[in-house]
Structure 1
Amino acid sequence: MSLNGDLENFPIIDIIQLLHGTKKTGVLRLSSKKGESQLVFHEGDLVSANYLNNRVRIGQVLVSAGAITEGQLAQVLEIQKNAGDERKPLVITLLEHNMVDETVAYNGLESLIEMTIVEVLTWKSGEFSLDMGKSGNADRYHFSRTKFPQRILLNSQGILMESLRIFDEKVRDGTMDEILSIAGITNLDLGAEQPENNVPAISEAWLDQDGVPTMMQQLLAEQRNMIQRSGDQSYRELGALKKLIVEEFPHAAKNLKRQLLELLSGPAPEGSTESAAPDIAVIVVTPSQLLSTMVKSICYQERIYSLSSDSIASLAINIRLLLCQTLHLVILLDVPHDDEMQDTLRVFGDIRRYPQASLVLVACSHFWDNLGLQALSSGIRSIIPKPCKECAGGSPVQQAVAFCSGLGNFLRSLLSEYGSSDEQRFFTCITRLRGCKTRTEIADAVLGYLIDVFERAIVFTVTESELVAEQSFGINGDKSEGLTLLSNLRVPLDDQQIFEDVIKTGQMYYGFHSDSTWPHQLYRLIGRLDSPEVLLFPLIRANTVVAFIYADFGSKSASSPSLRYLDALLQYTTAQISVTAYRQKLKSMLEQMRIQANPED
């Protein structure tokens, strides 16, 4: 698969983040009048780079660093040449032949990739070409067959942020002409070639009539289509299903076995594969092959993406990837017949790191009779019955048939509930935040989430001596009037202690506010509140609280906001504000560089 486009419409920052989030493997080719550079990805991580028409490659970087000699470089290049189609990346070849220290190789790759990204950030215009595919090769290397040492897999997000920091530093210090020093290269004359003659033209045949956004939407659509596909379908083969049923229920009646087989082997619903799949994903944590097969088979028929494992820890990456999408994630946790709740609560503690996900226990009647209410009171979303040989006596296969018959409806009910619950508002807010380009837009998106719960809210910008109000709702009128600007509202920075605490700690606060009845400046301006519960939601950039949102219930009784979603929003907005700040700074720097280069404009 190949996608081409214009860096002016889709900057390298967005492309790297997209490839990181979708775990893509392939080569990103970046072209301008100065030449072509490449960034090589392996399942979302960066593994290599080539700088401006291959004039700086990892071998040169390692030689300049003294990590290898010219002779060793020539030797490893010969090994690569003789490997033919089995050729591996240079760093991997060096490591396999014990010719370089792994840490030194990592540092060399990191500096080369950062140098390449910083170079591209200086371009006023350019184009990109993305060649990717699991089964194909990239830049003559079969990356899908290459096992990269963990230390050689560079986190794309971390590298991007460090490259932006280096770019910022070099613009500030006026040392942008020393980009090569990032990788320790000092003896290369970049003016010795005429790169324009060597740059391969980007074919316009790949462009759709609607231009570049459509191509990027193809990549985003592929990310969404993962819900409609299942990787390994061997569990649904008729022979495997028959064998599993016979092994699990050797003495069951043939008609019940046949009924269960029909339920498990049923096809996906008819219709176009391009139609929208349910906005839900299911992860089942179970050691039981039967339960895993039942859940995955029914999810397949409902066109719901599903995963199965006997350990929640092994699914951490999958969970993070699913939560990057606008999905409602449901985790089904299998509870053994003789579980005494401790093991279940321990796993539940691990899952609570993902507040966006709903946890459903799959348990037998024995567990429900003894620990059901205790489990629900601990925060578990719900409990559904599962087939259990110990509880069912002589009819466990009937339980299996009932489970498969009702699971699809249960999952659809979760989706319906999600569509009308606080979860829906949370995911709607996340979707809106993804499109925000400024801190003000981010604050407005959070206000849009809070307006359904709180009666009043104000965004305060933090200055050295005072808090300056911006957007608000419910202050000068009813909140139904929407967001309004408070242009003349200012309060001293030390007006209330909890304000100072949030600014100093960066921690969100929700609870009783003992100062709420005092004659503080804020309440003289907006009126006192009848309920003492208040929310302070910090907006953080570069480890500093630059603004915060104050919210209360005004003259009405307090309701119960979802603190787990508020905490998740705090984490998301903190990351989003940092990215938008870098983009704004980068845009300003590039504009200054353009003006300096063309003072007559």
Structure 2
Amino acid sequence: MPLTGELEHLPIVDVIQLIYTSRKSGTLNVYSRKGEGQLLFNQGYIVGATHSNEELRIGQILSEAGIVTTDDLDKALEMQREAGDSKKPLIATLIEYCGMSKETAFKALETLIEMTIVEMIGWTKGIFSLEMEKIHIFDEYRYLPDHLQDLNLDTQMVLMDALRIFDEKVHAGEINLAEEEEACEEPTEDIEISEDILGLADLDKVERKKPHVFKSLPAFDYSELHRQIVETELSHLSDPDKFKIIELLSELSKSSAETESTGSRSQAIVMFGDDSFAQHVVMTVCQKHGVLFFSASDNDMFLPLVDRAWEKDIEPLLLFDSNEIPEDLKSSVQQKYGEILQMMTLSAESQGADIQGEIDFNSTHLHTIYKPQANSESASYINELTEFINTAQNHLQQFCNAPRRQQFINLQNSLYQLKNCSKAQDISLQALQFVGDFFERSQTLIISKGELISERSIGITRDKADGVCAAQKIKVPLVENSILQKVRTSGKIFFDSCRDSTIEEHLFHEIGAPLDSKLFLAPLIVNNRTVTLTYADFGNETACPVPIDLVEFFFNQAGPFMQKALAAKTTKA
């Protein structure tokens, strides 16, 4: 399948993901008014990159990273000039004559690939073309140690790194998206790739290629891609049924270009499973809603993908496409990501199964999508596939929205602040402020000798906009049947409508009752013991949705920091 089109119709991130998921090999040529570049793929993995940007040269990268000194770089460049036509690549010269290690050279080439993608992400106007099975390995990539000769970078990992760097550059003002030119005009001349695209005179002569000519390219045709996947994965179906499925998927792809996406490149579906067709369907849905898609078929690949997403401030929505998740993966997911919103796909015949008992995830966060079996009757399969797509879209629309994105950003910022807290009072304050973002009134309750003592608060003695207020020292007894005592002993967050006589008599008597009876209580646990409760309500406002999964994740992270702070205080004493 020729992969050719315009970036306006298919962003470079989606192009890269398509090449990865379809395991294509070849040279991806990308042209924009902002520059030209190439990405080299081998079975979906990135093996090289070039760029016309003067700042994306191997010498520039090495110099800015402090890997080589200016004197060494100048020396190497002078040696190249003196060598004339017999010169070696800059990497080779630096290794042989300037003492740079080959492993360092390898990392520099990785950085070159990453920064090339960062540059391309900002191109919203331009054209791309994948030369299938044609991989032009440049001399810089050939000159590597034997055990590093095959530079096959994990495309998904590189893409996440590049997206994070791109986002940082946008926020820092280093990349201005508004500078992108309006629609690319029809070229009147052939577009050529520059001869020295690696720059700094560091290449042997590059093989000249016949220039590409692109005139009024049509929108990228997804139907051919869908056809190949359907022919391969659903070969048992009749041609008319295959056509209906291709038409269904093509319509979904077409609508992605016509509607504003609800998602963000700061959110991603990370899918576990080896069903290629299910992966293709979910990726198509993700592209429609502007959500990143990553997949893995074993836990050695899956967990690093999720870890990398968190490290790069990309919120992962975990999607399990397996009835039998490996026990070690299940344990790791429960331990590290049990509070993150979960979603799982099962075969249609499993609708009556006890999902929670089988997977043992918190049912509050486990959303189940039933997918059809490929061996179902054709009419039934197509109907079930349609339902599967609609259900997946509904889940994505709930997950991918502006408030959710902002909530995740707030979580990441609060976790960063939490890591800088060394005192117990600072940690409880951070918890109070995090909860205060979602409620009109909130306060910290310290557990002391069978009672709760109110500490600092937000929105109770003063307006919420005034921020944190001093402690009121209200005392509330821990009575056996009170929801306060139940939350303390269970160690679980409570968020529901509640009429509690202890709260009404001792707390509301002092601060007033909220308009809505829906209350929030979160325990902060240290060594299996609750040390504080964070209380919150909606004050004089109507109750609204709260991302309890993110709140639970924050409090679970805060516990070990509080434990460390209390241990340090005890040691000093």
**Normalising to structure 1: TM-score of the pair?**
0.42
**Normalising to structure 2: TM-score of the pair?**
0.43
